Amino acid sequence: MFLDTVLVVLTDLAAGILANAVFRRHFPLFLSGVVVFGPVLSLWVSQYSVFAKRTHFLYRMFLRSGWGWTCIFVGCFVFLLSFSARRSISLTLRHLSRLGVAGGLWLGFRKLLDLLENATGSCYEPLAAPLEGRQAAAAAGQPLLLLREGESKSECLAAGMMWRGYEVSEDIFLLCICCLLLAEEMAVFGPYLNVGGISGAPLRILFVFCILLLTLWVFLLFCLLAYFPEFPTQLLGGALGCLTWRGLYQGWYPLGPSWYCPGLPGLGLLAKTAEKEMSQKQRN
């Protein structure tokens, strides 16, 4: 009984914050500021920290499969919320299709970024130079590298060499789009509770998991920017993530549900007045 009360209080509080117009307006600005100024944290963090190693558990377990974790938790939350509100499979699938759209864009952008990097990059290998020559080059800060033509990035890395090309950070892009998607999809829970929607323990627990996942993505974003600063590739990745969110949730989805558009989160699930208020907040 006590745990149920704590769960209700915490989820009501979190849902109110996520649905608040101030949070919705400033969260994208917060992420943008993190991406722009986050690398400055590298001046204060310790390079001996456990988070300064790419082999850390959080990077291996969550970052490499970040889109999968986001799809699992957000998909379950959207499915349970939509089906609990209207008991309509078609409406539920329409709301789930937003995840399919975002996933398709994620895969498409990854492919395009790989093509861009392969088209603009080159493969290098260390020159076989005498020890004295290598030491002199190292002292001068000029690595001895030999250009290798006609190889792709995968072939170059598989051969143990170095690839240098026009890169956009896929990790920062993924974290930004996942954070913004989570914030958008979870924001409907506040209005849903306000109109007396069914909110059993499973739905509230899923909401808590989504909150924890959002917190984890923001934390990993800080870690990558602070411990592995790469300018301007990370800035480009963050910009691409924010532009993708803006194009979907502020450009395409507000056109309304139709055969070519899944619509905004919450449309068709709430009372008309609540939907109108939510749509106005999402446009602002």
pTM of the model: 0.88
Q: Does residue 196 sit in the same domain as residue 61? A: yes
Q: Which of 164, 187, 221 is the last residue of a domain?
A: 164
> For residue 219, what pLDDT band results from cuts at 50, 70 and 90?
very high
How many structural domains comprise the chain?
Answer: 2
Q: Using one digit for the tens of pLDDT, what is the confidence trace for 62-77?
A: 998 999 999 999 999 9
Opening angle at CA 259, ends 253 and 260, nearest 5: 50
Please state the rounded mean pLDDT for residues 21-43.
94
The more confident residue out of 269 and 93 is 93
Statement: residue 196 has pLDDT above 90: no
In this structure, the answer to whether residues 10 and 89 fall within a common structural domain is: yes
* 92 lies in the same domain as 201: yes
Query: Are 60 and 155 within one domain?
Result: no
Same domain, 152 and 64: no
Q: Which two tokens stand for residue 181?
A: 């998607």
Q: How much is the average pLDDT of 225-229?
A: 95
Percent of the chain at pLDDT > 90 equals 64
Pair (145, 173) in one structural domain: no
Question: Is residue 154 located within the same domain as residue 170?
Answer: no
SS (H, E, C) 207-244: HHHHHHHHHHHHHHHHHHHHHCCCCCHHHHHHHHHHHH
pLDDT of res. 276: 55
Range of the domain at 133: 122-164
- Are 97 and 190 in the same domain? yes
User: Do residues 42 and 172 both lie within one domain?
Assistant: yes
Both 243 and 176 in a single domain? Answer: yes
pLDDT band of residue 278 (cuts 50, 70, 90) is low
